[in-house]
Homo-oligomer: A and B are copies of this chain.
Amino acid sequence: MSLLIVGTVAFDAIETPFGKTDKIIGGAATYISLAASCFTKNPSIVSVVGDDFPQDFMNLLKERSINLNGLQIKKDEKSFFWAGRYHNDMNTRDTLVTELNVLADFDPIVPEELKQPDFLMLGNLTPMVQKKVINQLTKRPKLIVMDTMNFWMDIAWNDLIEVVSMVDVLTINDEEARQLTKEYSLVKAAKKVLTMGPKLLIIKKGEHGALLFSKNRVFFAPALPLEEVFDPTGAGDTFAGGFIGYLDKTNDISFENMKRAIIYGSALASFTVEKFGTEKLLELKENEIEERIQKFVELVKFDPIS
C-alpha cells in the first residue's frame, strides 16, 4: 500500500521538569512518518523546511525508507521553530516561542508520483494547507485521517469545518471534541462529529487513553500507566503515525482492525514519551514493540465469568 503524510518538519526546544533541550528535530510529519515507518514501507512526506535543516536528519529519515520527494527545501529561509515548557503535571504546557518561518506561506506541492496514495494522513496544520493536499490528489484515497487542534477552531473555524467534512477519520483530544461540538459528554460530541463528515472519530485522552467511535460502536484503548513521562512532545503525532502506518501495512480498514491500529499507535506513543523528542522512536526495536503490545493486552484482559 502507499501512505502520504502532510505536516510540519521543524525544530523544537523543550523544557520539562526533567531537563531541557537545545533545538532538536520535531514536527508532526517527523513523528508521524517515523512512527508509520515502524510498520510500513515508503511513507511519503509533504512538507517544507528551510536550508538550515540538517541533511543528516533527512538522511536518517531516508534510511528508514521515508520518501522526502515532497519535502520542499527553501533556500535562505529558516525552518519552523517551536519552543515550549511543560508544567509539573506534564499535561499542560506554555508556548515560549513560535517562529513560523517557512510555514508562513507554505504552499504544499504533491509530487506527481505521490498523487494516488491509498492512505492520507493530514497532520495538524492550517486547514487550508490540508485541503490543498486533498485537492491535488488524482484519486480519492481509501482513507483520509485528519489531526487538528483547538488553535484552528479559534482562528479558522469555517476552513476547519470544511476540511473535516472531507475526511474519514478525525483525531482530536477530549477538550477539542467539546469545543468543536459544544457538547460536554464525549458520547454526544462523537455523535455530532459523525454528522459533520467523518465516519470515525478518535478522541485522544493522553494518559487516560483513547476512544474510537463509529456510528454504532465504541472502542476504548487504554494508555499504559508509565512510571515516568519524560517528554510528552510528539506523543499524539506518534499515535497517529502508528495508527495510519499499521492500517497501511495491513490494508484493512474494518473497525476490528482500526482497534488494533489504535493499540499499535498507543504502544508507540508510550515509547516516545520515555525520552526527549524523537530519540526513543529512532532507537526502537521490533521486539520492544511486540512486548509492549503484550502489555496492553494484559492491562485490560479479564474474563467476565469466573
Contact = CB atoms under 8 A, between A and B. Distances in A.
A257 B209 CA distance: 24
B186 A225 contact: yes
How many copies of this kind of chain does the complex include? 2
Most buried by B among A185, A229, A302: A302
Interface string A186-215: 111000000000000000010011010000
A91 to B, nearest CB: 10
A22 interface: no
Interface in A31-70: none
A293 interface: yes
B260 A304 contact: yes
A89 interface: yes
A227 B226 CA distance: 29
Interface residues of A, number: 39
Nearest to A186: B225
A207 to B, nearest CB: 8
A297 B304 contact: yes
Given A188-B228, A209-B222, 5 more contacts: A185-B227, A187-B226, A220-B225, A252-B306, A256-B306
Interface of A: 88-90, 184-188, 205, 208-209, 211, 218-222, 225-229, 250, 252, 256-257, 259-260, 263, 293-294, 296-297, 299-300, 302-304, 306
13 contacts: A185-B229, A187-B227, A209-B222, A218-B225, A219-B299, A219-B300, A219-B302, A220-B300, A222-B300, A250-B306, A259-B302, A260-B306, A293-B304
